[in-house]
Amino acid sequence: MNDWHCHLLPGLDDGARSLDEALLMARQLAGAGFTEVYCTPHCIRGTYDNTPQTVRRGVLELQSALDGEDIPLRLHPGMEYYLDEYFPEALDDPQPLGGTSLLLVEAPSRAEPALVRENIHRAVRCGFTPLLAHPERTLFFDQAPPGDLSWTRIGRALRFFSPPPSPVATELSPDSELGYLRDMGCLFQGNLGSFAGVYGARVRRRAAALHGSGIYHCFGSDGHSPDSLEKVLEGLKAL
């Protein structure tokens, strides 16, 4: 299994604070069955001024530490880019997810529709595929709760990261913001913690609705610490 969104690299953002924490998180992920992890520290001007070079160096150093501890995880570089007014500058030398063309992006909590759309357009024009992180957590992308999509069926699908069960429970309107971005070429990453109820019932309902629409391309733990990662992994077991 792949974790497409994880703040595993120590000391770069609000994720793992030390090498010891990063190693503990890596053991948790490996124990849960993950084999590949995309390390995606924040890239937010003035808060987390990370660069692709810093991230790639961090991945090499942490991979060496994992190998020395016999932790069976393969790490890949990535970044989580904020879709703000500074995003166009990042496109001069961005860090996609590993060897893919996927560029993990995050909409601000109070997103401006025009700015989000223009930034997605810019990424596509530069030859990248925007991968929007956890749209279920952003009220800007709110979606009605599902109809008959049960939590048992959601859990069964998530255990193997498979497409949503058939028949599809909800349809994503092309007139919605997510439908518009999808038609522009944007893909979407769901947080496993959203399905586990880590962010509350409202986010959990939105995640189920979006999963039912078949919009998610991939999933990630969005793990920031050993404690937060444990809540995600334990919550998934209950699905």
* Cβ(221)–Cβ(3) below 8 Å: yes
Q: How many domains does the chain have?
A: 1
* Cβ(183)–Cβ(174) below 8 Å: yes
Domain ranges, residue 131: 2-237
- Which CATH number does the domain housing residue 74 bear? 3.20.20.140
Collect all residues with Cβ–Cβ distance below 8 Å to 107 and sequence separation of at least 6. 83, 116, 132, 135, 138, 140, 141
Query: pLDDT tens digits for the chain (239 residues)?
Result: 999 999 999 999 999 999 999 999 999 999 999 999 999 999 999 999 999 999 999 999 999 999 999 999 999 999 999 999 999 999 999 999 999 999 999 998 877 889 999 999 999 999 999 999 999 998 777 644 444 456 566 666 666 565 554 444 445 665 588 999 999 999 999 999 999 999 999 999 999 999 999 999 999 999 999 999 999 999 988 87
